[in-house]
Amino acid sequence: MARITKTNSTFVKLLLMLLGLEIIAVSINLFYAPHGIAAGGATGIGILIESALGFNLSLVVLLINIVMLILAGIFLGRATTLRIALGSVLLPICLAITPQIKIVQDPLLTVVAGGAIFAVGLSILYQIDASSGGTTVPPLIIKKYFRLKTSTSLLMIDGLICTTNIFVNGFETMLLAITSQIITTIVMNFIETGLDRKKIIYLMSEYHLEKIKEKLGSLGKAQTIFNVTGGYTGHDREMLMVVVENPDLNHLLTTIRRIDSEAFILVTNTTEAHGGIWTDGRTYATELAQSLPPARP
């Protein structure tokens, strides 16, 4: 039974990987490549070479990925090489079978749609810990030998590729490529931090904390109580933490201020709230999201 489950899980991951790679191929062949916009990564280098020399995009990406696999094998070891090998081969195949058609004439609309679609495909790969190879390899090598963050070196590499647009397709294309990077980063951050966004309220009240607790309880809002110490006064206090849905925030803040207009209130954003009863039988646990520049295949 365990073996069947493991096989099913591997099969699902493979399907998701193919889906993510094909979505990336669609963003490249239907949006970026027809306009000659190289927005980073091995595909960006391929678009530049295709525009300048007329070489086949999928073949160029395959050659780049093979070189990156060789470098990974030499400098990063077998495990990393195997992890990126499948995506490195499958992405050029997806590019080869996906027709290159200009379906959008407006370049700005192209980078908006292409950047968003690219982000969806890349997010799918991230969720299953898969990779499409390409320029994700040099940052790993740089980090291993020079201790530079992968996000920093990756941003530098993709920035260089974006800048190269100016020599092939002009200044406007370079700006479009940079805009595409920004859009992809924003959309990926939104996808990775989830659609189920909530607010966390931290509050303290000098004289009315018990009334606030009672009121929150009557509204069905669960509370977590922290014992805190004032850094200036050294006094011990209680601080409440309450997780609320976005639409409930203003009503709850108004309710608290009616009880104590001087209450200390701190509101923060949170995502993926689950695990532990927090309100109306639902659950909470906070995972604060960190944004990194997306790695382009």
DSSP labels, 194-212: -S-EEEEEEEE-SS-HHHH
- List the structure tokens of 66: 């093979």
Q: What is the mean pLDDT of each run of 10 residues along the chain (297 residues)?
A: 58 91 95 94 94 93 94 87 89 94 93 94 84 85 86 87 93 94 87 75 91 87 86 86 85 91 89 57 34 50
Q: What is the pLDDT of residue 150?
A: 80
- 279 in a domain, yes or no? no
CB 24 within 8 A of CB 114: no
Alpha-carbon distance of 96 to 90, in angstroms, equals 10
Q: Which of 192, 222, 244 is the last residue of a domain?
A: 192
Q: Which residues of 140-149 are buried (b: 16+ CB within 10 A; e: fewer)?
A: bbbbeeeeee
- 82 and 44 in a common domain: yes
- 261 and 182 in a common domain: no
- 232 and 110 in a common domain: no
Alpha-carbon distance of 115 to 184, in angstroms, equals 5
- 91 in a domain, yes or no? yes
Alpha-carbon distance of 67 to 59, in angstroms, equals 12
In this structure, what CATH number is given to the domain that contains residue 229? Answer: 3.30.70.120
Domain that holds residue 129: 2-192
- Facing residues of 271 across strands? 197
- 176 and 100 in a common domain: yes
- 180 and 105 in a common domain: yes
Overall pTM > 0.85: no
- 282 in a domain, yes or no? no
Cα-based angle 16, 285, 259 (whole degrees, multiple of 5): 140
CB 48 within 8 A of CB 173: no
Q: Which of 174, 192, 210 is the last residue of a domain?
A: 192
| Of 175, 138, 190, 148, the residue nearest 295 (C-alpha) | 138
Q: How many residues does the chain have?
A: 297
Alpha-carbon distance of 41 to 296, in angstroms, equals 5
The residue type of 153 is S
How would you classify residue 234: left for phi > 0, otherwise alpha for psi between -120 and 50, otherwise beta?
A: left
Q: Which of 192, 219, 241 is the last residue of a domain?
A: 192
Q: What is the pLDDT of residue 6?
A: 56
- 86 and 10 in a common domain: yes
- 209 and 172 in a common domain: no
Domain count, the chain: 2
- Residue 37 sits at φ, ψ, to 5 deg, of -95, 115
- 202 and 113 in a common domain: no
DSSP labels, 168-179: HT-HHHHHHHHH
| Of 110, 135, 83, the residue nearest 29 (C-alpha) | 110
Residue pointed to by tokens 């200009």? 102
The 8-class DSSP code of residue 136 comes to G
- 61 in a domain, yes or no? yes
Q: How far apart are the first and last CA of the chain?
A: 36
Which pairs with CB-CB distance under 8 Å and at least 24 residues apart come from 204-209? 204/228, 204/237, 204/238, 204/239, 204/240, 204/263, 204/264, 205/259, 205/260, 205/262, 205/263, 205/264, 206/260, 206/262, 207/260, 208/259, 208/260, 208/263, 209/238, 209/240
Q: Which residues of 91-121 are buried (b: 16+ CB within 10 A; e: fewer)?
A: bbbbbeebebeeebeebeebbbbbbbbbbbb
- 177 in a domain, yes or no? yes
The residue type of 294 is P
Q: What is the pLDDT of residue 277?
A: 53
